[in-house]
Amino acid sequence: MTSATGAPPAIELVGVDKSFGPVHANKNVNLRVERGVIHGIVGENGAGKSTLMSILYGFYEADAGQILVNGEPVRIRSSREAISHGIGMVHQHFMLVPPLSVLENVMLGAEGGPLLKAGAKAVRAQLAHLAKVYALEVDPDAIVGELSVGLQQRVEILKALVRGAEILVLDEPTAVLTPSEADQLFDMLRVLKSQNKTIIFITHKLREIMSLTDRVSVMRRGEMVATFETSQTSPPELADAMVGRKVILKIEKAPARPGAVVLEARGLRVKDDRGVTRLEDVSFSLRAGEILGVAGVAGNGQSELLEALAGIRPLASGEIWLNGAVLPAAARDPKAMRRLGVGHVPEDRHRVGLIMPFEACESAMLGFQDEKVYGAGLLFDRGAIIADEAAKMEAYDIRPPAPRLKTANFSGGNQQKIVLAREIERNPAVILVGQPTRGVDIGAIEFIHKRIVALRDAGKAVLLVSVELDEIFALADRILVLCGGRVTGERLPEETNAQDLGLLMAGVEQAA
């Protein structure tokens, strides 16, 4: 099938179907991506986006259906075959070898024969050409592990282009970028589009879809439910299509009414497990009835800050004050912090927040298992444990409402709700929330955001760590920015913007 210009589409998927046991991941999916466009794909967690792109790139083979590249039917059974058809993929987690140079990383798998010197010369010339044509400058002799995240992503794009990619698939490409790095990426993608490259752009950020793409397709529960011209749709329409119901994207919240200082950090210095200092001289205060948002690119000390405040990680120096009193080291273990009224929703729910093989009702009592509600003495009251989680599932709309279902069998959004319910229902005075909507679909995001605002309005002190600036702006009453483990600035949301915060996140301190 050809377009109005007479050219066949770059990619066409016809009736693609894929199951993994009882899970029907892709259901008779049809997708048409025209040549020389940026085509977005959005959908909730588990909608089938990643499976579909994995089929296109040869990680999986469809159970049924057909793939056409430039109008020709092809069979793609490996990434090597995908590359041979001009398809390249830039993964969310980069496929690079940090100790090697840019040139060596780009050459891997495409050495050009046993004589590496000749192959290196050819690739070096290609990199110089690509830098000139697509504004993809990067030092070929630089060590990849020493490059910024934005430049590492550029290396991934160069790898694909050196291998002859005419079609680029990018999976959540801005998840680890600062706003300025994301803008640079978008500029590069627009240049690639101007040279007739075709780009498939997977993201959950509707703002990016609206600013970058020409068309956008929506997946829901394994099916392709809609395709829009981006100029003729809107974020609310896309959100409704993704979820299958009306979604309120804008958080409605009254102005904060902060009370007394509840939590205070004074000169915190924290080291990681290897003894490397990850926080240096971090100080701030948190009041009852406010949300303090902590912004920064992932890996700049946010994780260590949350762990220190929750009692998981010791301080190398500095003090934590709670309700006007300094906390001695003996009172800073996780159990003691919970007793003092500090709740903690960890950044990584799989590693820290839940035990995936446990039943949901068992995960829902972690850290609180010695409470009388679950039984007395050495024996648990199984019925009480199940009933307690059943009540939480109803209150937090956890689906399916099955307390005995294994934790691993819930979607990411419902797993996050299990953690939130466990922490919030203990009525903490302070709650530490790390990446509350990471890997969470848009319907659950709406629910979680409302719960966080309700905590603030109930007089709780909320510390919110998020790499999503949209989330920080939507929820925070004050914003603290971390870069390299140091505080580079504090702002009020109404007195700043993404560009200002982006500079602070990159370590460029400015006058407020």
Distances (CA, A) of 61 to 41, 56, 73, 89: 20, 8, 14, 16
Token readout for 141 is 């002799």
| 220 vs 171: CA distance, rounded Å | 17
| 454 vs 137: CA distance, rounded Å | 47
- Helix, strand, or coil here: 186? helix
Q: By the 8 A CB rule, do 269 and 304 touch? A: no
At which residue do the structure tokens 């690739």 appear? 123
Q: What is the DSSP string of 1-24?
A: ---TTSPPPSEEEEEEEEEETTEE
State the chain's maximal CA–CA distance in angstroms: 77
Query: What does the DSSP 8-state code read for residue 352?
Result: I
Cα 427 to its chain centre, rounded Å, is 28
Element (H, E) at 322: strand 317-322
**Strands 167-171, 198-202: pairing kind:** parallel
Distances (CA, A) of 482 to 145, 180, 345, 511: 21, 16, 19, 16
Handedness of CA 386, 391, 392, 396 (dihedral sign): positive
- Cβ burial of 84 (10 Å; 0-12, 13-18, 19+) is middle
| 440 vs 353: CA distance, rounded Å | 15
| 302 vs 467: CA distance, rounded Å | 9
Give average pLDDT by consecutive 10-residue segment, the chain, 512 residues: 72 94 89 96 82 92 95 93 93 84 86 69 89 85 87 89 92 77 88 93 87 95 94 92 77 93 98 91 98 91 95 96 94 92 93 93 93 82 94 90 89 88 95 88 84 96 93 95 95 93 83 45
Nearest Cα neighbor of 165 from 197, 194, 136 is 197
Nearest Cα neighbor of 255 from 290, 292, 293 is 290
Q: By the 8 A CB rule, do 294 and 463 touch? A: yes
Residues whose CB falls within 8 Å of the CB of residue 51, separated by 6 or more in sequence, listed in order: 18, 25, 26, 60
The confidence score (pLDDT) of residue 437 equals 87
The confidence score (pLDDT) of residue 112 equals 63
Domains, the chain, in order of start with CATH, read 11-243 (3.40.50.300), 261-505 (3.40.50.300)
What pairs with residue 261 in β-bridges?
287
Token readout for 257 is 């009414």
The confidence score (pLDDT) of residue 512 equals 46
State the Cα angle at 435 between 430 and 436, rounded to 5°. 70
State the Cα angle at 48 between 405 and 52, rounded to 5°. 140
- Cβ burial of 502 (10 Å; 0-12, 13-18, 19+) is buried
Q: By the 8 A CB rule, do 311 and 282 touch? A: no
Tell me the whole-structure pTM to 2 decimals: 0.70
